[in-house]
Every structure is written in C-alpha cells, then in structure tokens.
Chains A and B, each alone.
Chain A
Amino acid sequence: CSTQVLCENGPFCSRFVCWHANCGALQKNTRDIVIVLLYHIRAEGGYVCVLFRQQREEKQLEASLESLHARVAHLKGSLQSFILKLENEHDRLTWPSVLDNFALLSGQLNTINKVLKNEKTPSYRSQVIIPLLLSPDRDEELVKLTEQRVPVFSHEIVPDHLRTKPDPEVEEQEKHLSAEAARIGPEVAQKQIQTLNKLCSNLLEKLNNPRDDRDSESSALRQNKPSFNPADTNALVAAVGFGKGLSKCRPPGSVPPGHPGQPTMSTGPTLQQVTIAGTTGHQAGMGGQVAQQQPGQPGKMPSSIKTNIKSASASMHPYNR
C-alpha cells in the first residue's frame, strides 16, 4: 500500500485509504505502532471513510519529540550567542557574565534531562530510525533544514548522524571498566561502596551542621592571614581627609612671639589639630598654648577676632612671613 492515512478531523471524508489486514479490533500493544482503521461504508455512494486513530504512545512520542526539539533549539541558540560573544567581545567580557552564560547552559541541560526523565516520555530506545533512501545528490531541502551543515544524505553521513552506539574508544573503556569490576569480587566491591558512602555522609554532615569548635578553629586560622586592618583604614582615611599623622608645614615666621592674638585666631578654626599627638617641632609649643586657651575659646573667639582684624590684616602681608 502506498497512500498515507490522513483523516483525523472527523469520521467522514472522501479519501481512499488502505487498511492493515489484521486490524478491525483495537489492539493495546504498547510496543509497536499499530494503525487501527475503522471504516464506515455509506450505502449510497460507496464512499470509504476513515477514522484514523493513533495509539496513545504515538501521540506521546510526537509530543515529547516536539518538546525535546524545542529545548534543544533553545540550547543551540544560547550556545550560538555565547560563542559569538566569546569571538567578538572577548576583550569586553567579564568573568561574572561568562559565569552567567554557563549557568544558563547548565539550566537548559537540566530541563532537557527533566524532559527525558518525564514519565510521559516513551522510551526512545525502542524506536528505530532506518534510512529509506540514500543518494549522493545534493538535497536543497536538507540543506535548508540543517542550516547548510548537511548538504547530502549519503553513505558517509549516515553512520555519524544515525549512530546509536557510543564511540569505539568509549566502548573499549566501558568494557575495561566492567571487566575490572567483575575482577575484584563482590566482597571488595562491597567494602569500597561502604567506604565511599561513609566519606560522603561525613562530608555532608560537616557541611550541614556548623559546629562551634569547628568555626572557632577555622576563624583562628583565618585570623592569621587577614587581608585588611581596620586601624590602618582609619589612619589612612584620616591622613587623606585632614592630614592626621602627616607633618604639618608651617612657614618659619608663622608664630611670631610678639603677636599674642594671632595664635588664638589661628588655632580657633583649626580645632582638629589639638587631638593630633606627636607632631613635629614647633607644633608642640602651639599645642600647649591651645590646651590652655581651649576652654575659653568659644567665649574668646569673638573678642579676639575684633581686636585682631586690624593686626591680622597687617600681618597677613606676605613680606612679614
């Protein structure tokens, strides 16, 4: 028979169909795809109508293949964009965005795994793909479908694309491993299994239950190599902010002894310098003066300013300094 079954919209149509010799009864064979045809012959014109019913498994197969195809298409798309990014923007790429791409790929692989493990998905192992026609001629339709990757459906590409067994090297390795496993004997194998289980459970326990003594010993280890010192931070910020710890530069004539008003005026605004300890040379004398005058500063300030305005402007003349 060479015509295809095409009528799933309703029980009545006018296409010719063929029907399998053994059909007529619904067969619940879950392994094979059996096409069951029910036909209804109209008395008047001899139209042969078809009710075409697919097995549940065939519909499931189709649906799962579709979803798998969609997921694989997503994965392909994100792989493509990642490769493009690596090729074209590699100098602008940052590690966090590379990690994001890898996370996306891993998530998509996970969904594919879930689709495959879904109980509604039939076992693909029972399906067989047989190439019906091989030709060395270029097939434009195939070229379009595979995005220029497979131009010819020929004898060379079939072993690669329709392969169901693993690579010969992988097969060798698997054989080797199973021979090894058979060789060591059941008692040794059991012991190895138990050791592995014990190691895993120990590790899991350590990860899940943070114990105080474990924390203290690890934090003690960590204290041996801290990477920053908060006291240093404060010292550096103070140095940059207002020169704490840096030697104060004073032009030599800045504290002339004959100007009693001047020290009060200059130290009033610079209150912050009072707290600096250990500054050099002539600062020490000024510091002492400030300490005496500090309590009276707020009250003195206005008056000293008034009296000093004239003298200050005179002494601010650059030549005096």
Chain B
Amino acid sequence: MEAPPVTVMPVTGGTINMMEYLLQGSVLDQSLESLLHRLRGLCDNMEPESFADHELVYLLKGQQGNPFMLRGRRSLLHPTAPWHLRYLGQPEVGDKSRHALVRNCVDVAASHSLPEFLNEMGFRMDHEFVAKGQVFRKGAMKVVVSKLLRVLATGNTENTEPLSLSYLVELSVLAPAGQDTVSEDMRSFAEQLKPLVHLEKIDPKRLM
C-alpha cells in the first residue's frame, strides 16, 4: 500500500478556500467626478457598471463566542436577479507587512426566499443598508465606489438617507489563500489613486 499523498489539510470539499484582499478609503462627494475620471483611465476600458443594491446583514447568535454573520444582497436595478449570499471571516492577523486586509470569503447565489430561509434557520436581521455606485475592474482587481444609504423604515428601500457626505471606495481581489503578490499589485494601484483617495488597510475591530 502506498503512502497517502501529503497535504496540509484533508481535501473534503470541492471549492478552493477563497480569500478576499481588501483596501478601503473614501472620497468626498465634490471630488467624486475626478476620482471617476481617473478610474476610467486606469481601469480596463469598458463602460463602468452602475449598481444599486440592498444589503441585509443577518446574525445568528450562538451560545458562545461571536455571532455568526451572513450578508444577503439583492439588486434594486434587477429585481429578478438572484440574491447574493456572502460570508466574510475575521481578518487574518499576523503579517503586518502585508498591505491589504485578508479575510476568508464564501460567496453563493440564492433564490428570493433567502430572507425567510435565514429566519427559519434562526438568523435575525441585524441591520440593512442600500449601496449605490459604480464598479470598475482592472484585471483581477475590482474597485467599487458606492454611496451608503440608511434605510429609515425597515424593508422600505424607497425611503433612504445618505449615511455621510462621502463615497466609500473599496479595492478588492478574490484569490486563493497564500498569494501575497496580490497585495503588492493592490498597493501599487492604490498609489496611483493618491492623493484623491487614500486606500488603506482598515481593521474594523479598531473602529468598534
């Protein structure tokens, strides 16, 4: 009998563990146009996609530890499109020299019965918001410029107000774990957006 293959972890599932590399920043409303112009020049040449999404964040409160958070997102512009369910893990700590925030990421599509399903499973909706903006792409990198809007009445996405006077700018890449060249590429791209926007690694725990 030959020796079993040496692997770090037993291969049980069919999907690769994807990590999301993330850099975030913001831009004031009055400087939005210049940022969009610059992104149009730097990113792949295609019409930038506009989006308007309604995101609901569900929490499953377990008996111990932190609650389990899932994010469900639906498009307000394409009401028949499937929902997008996403799990984001805790940011990986350790390598301080790494330039981007790295966290585990699982994305699945879901049908329109997602909210009821999650409720049945025991999740409770913690908060919701509407995000409107544009998406740019450069190779594997994705730049999302979005305005976050607070939903004033639960479930009513018509009645919203902006959360702040800025747009949120996020630079993200989905890649398998262990590819550190990705964060170098992200950093050099972020350099090109200075001084309009400072994209940096922001640890959400610091802001709690």
Contact = CB atoms under 8 A, between A and B. Distances in A.
A269 B61 contact: yes
Interface of B: 24-28, 30-31, 34-35, 41-42, 44-45, 57, 59, 61-67, 69, 119-120, 122, 124-129, 148, 150-152, 154, 163-166, 168, 195-198, 202, 204, 207-208
Contacts of A247: 127, 150-152, 154
A272 interface: yes
B164 A249 contact: no
A38 interface: no
Given A228-B25, A233-B26, A240 B196 contact: no
23 contacts: A91-B45, A226-B28, A227-B196, A228-B166, A232-B166, A233-B24, A233-B166, A235-B164, A236-B24, A236-B164, A239-B129, A245-B150, A246-B127, A246-B128, A246-B150, A246-B163, A247-B152, A249-B125, A249-B126, A266-B61, A269-B67, A312-B63, A318-B120
B102 to A, nearest CB: 15
A314 interface: no
A251 B126 CA distance: 10
Interface string A226-258: 111110111111111111111111110010000
A96 B28 CA distance: 26
Nearest to A91: B45
B163 A235 contact: yes
A249 B34 CA distance: 37
B64 to A, nearest CB: 7
Contacts of B42: 94-96
Interface string A306-319: 00010010001010
B59 A227 contact: no
Q: Determine chain B's interface SS by DSSP, over half rule.
A: mixed
Interface residues of A, number: 45
Contact of B28 (A95, A232, A239, A272): A232
A275 interface: yes
A181 B63 CA distance: 92
What are the 3 A-B residue pairs with the smallest beta carbon separation, nearest first? A241-B204, A243-B127, A227-B31
A265 B64 CA distance: 9
Contacts of A152: none
Contact of A237 (B28, B122, B165, B202): B202
Interface of A: 91-96, 225-230, 232-251, 254, 265-266, 269-270, 272, 275, 301, 305, 309, 312, 316, 318
Contact of B26 (A95, A229, A243, A316): A229
Contact of A269 (B24, B30, B62): B62
Contact of A239 (B66, B124, B148, B152): B148
A222 to B, nearest CB: 9
A272 B129 contact: no
A277 to B, nearest CB: 13
A227 B164 contact: no
A129 B123 CA distance: 90
Contacts of B195: 227
A312 B122 CA distance: 12
A318 B120 CA distance: 7
Contacts of A272: 208
Contacts of A251: 124
Nearest to B56: A249
Nearest to A244: B207
A125 B30 CA distance: 59
Contacts of B34: 227
Contacts of A244: 207-208
